[in-house]
Amino acid sequence: MTKLNTFEQAVATYEPVLGLETHIELDTNTKMFCGCSTAFGAEPNTQVCPVCLALPGALPVANKAAVEATIKIGLALNCRIAEWTRFARKNYFYPDMPKNFQTSQYEEPLCEDGYVDVVVDGKAYRVEIERVHLEEDTGKTLHVGGTTGRIHGATESLVDYNRAGIPLVEIVTKPVPGTGALAPEVARAYTAELRDIVRSLGVSDVRMEQGSLRCDVNLSLNRPGEEWGTRTETKNVNSLRSVERAVRYEVRRQSALLDAGERIFQETRHFHETTGETSPGRSKEEATDYRYFPEPDLAVMEPSREWVEELRASLPELPRKRRERLQAAWSLGDKEMQSVVNADAVDLIEATVAAGATPSAAVKWWLGELSRRANESGEELAAMRITPAEVAELQGMVDDGRLNDKLARQVIDGVLAGEGSPSDVAAKRGLEVVSDTGALEAAVDEAIAANPAVADKIRGGTHAAAGVLIGAVMKATKGQADAGTVRQIILDKLG
Which stretches of the chain bind other proteins, using CB under 8 A? 28-30, 34-37, 43-50, 53, 55, 61-67, 86, 93-96, 100, 138-143, 145, 149-151, 154-161, 235-236, 270, 281-286, 293-296, 298-303
26 vs 197 by CB, closer to other proteins: 26
CB-count exposure of residue 406 (10 Å: 0-12, 13-18, 19+): middle
104 vs 138 by CB, closer to other proteins: 138
The enclosing H or E element of 378 equals none
Q: Quote the least distance from Cβ 294 to other proteins, whole Å.
A: 3
Q: Quote the least distance from Cβ 12 to other proteins, whole Å.
A: 33
Nearest to 365 by CA among 342, 335, 387: 387
Q: Quote the least distance from Cβ 100 to other proteins, whole Å.
A: 7
CA distance 165 to 52: 6
14 vs 161 by CB, closer to other proteins: 161
223 vs 291 by CB, closer to other proteins: 291
Q: Quote the least distance from Cβ 84 to other proteins, whole Å.
A: 9
Nearest to 357 by CA among 409, 395, 325, 411: 395
**In sequence order, what E strands does 109-200 have?**
111-120, 123-136, 140-144, 156-160, 167-173
Q: Which residues pair with 271 in a beta bridge?
A: 278
CA distance 58 to 156: 28
48 vs 264 by CB, closer to other proteins: 48
64 vs 263 by CB, closer to other proteins: 64
CA distance 305 to 308: 5
CA distance 161 to 44: 7
Q: Quote the least distance from Cβ 387 to other proteins, whole Å.
A: 32
72 vs 86 by CB, closer to other proteins: 86
Q: Quote the least distance from Cβ 159 to other proteins, whole Å.
A: 4
Looking at the chain, how many residues does it have? 495
Q: Quote the least distance from Cβ 24 to other proteins, whole Å.
A: 16
Return the DSSP state at 252.
H
φ, ψ (nearest 5 deg) of residue 254: -65, -40
CA distance 319 to 202: 12
Q: Quote the least distance from Cβ 53 to other proteins, whole Å.
A: 6
Torsion of CA 435, 437, 439, 440, to 10 degrees: 90
Q: Quote the least distance from Cβ 333 to other proteins, whole Å.
A: 44
CA distance 181 to 177: 11
Asked if 356 and 386 count as a contact pair (C-beta separation under 8 A), the reply is no
Q: Quote the least distance from Cβ 246 to other proteins, whole Å.
A: 15
151 vs 329 by CB, closer to other proteins: 151
20 vs 48 by CB, closer to other proteins: 48
50 vs 180 by CB, closer to other proteins: 50
CA distance 303 to 67: 9
42 vs 468 by CB, closer to other proteins: 42
Nearest to 319 by CA among 206, 212, 214: 206
Q: Quote the least distance from Cβ 22 to other proteins, whole Å.
A: 17
Return the DSSP state at 209.
G
End-to-end CA distance of the chain: 73
Asked if 495 and 463 count as a contact pair (C-beta separation under 8 A), the reply is yes
CA distance 400 to 356: 13
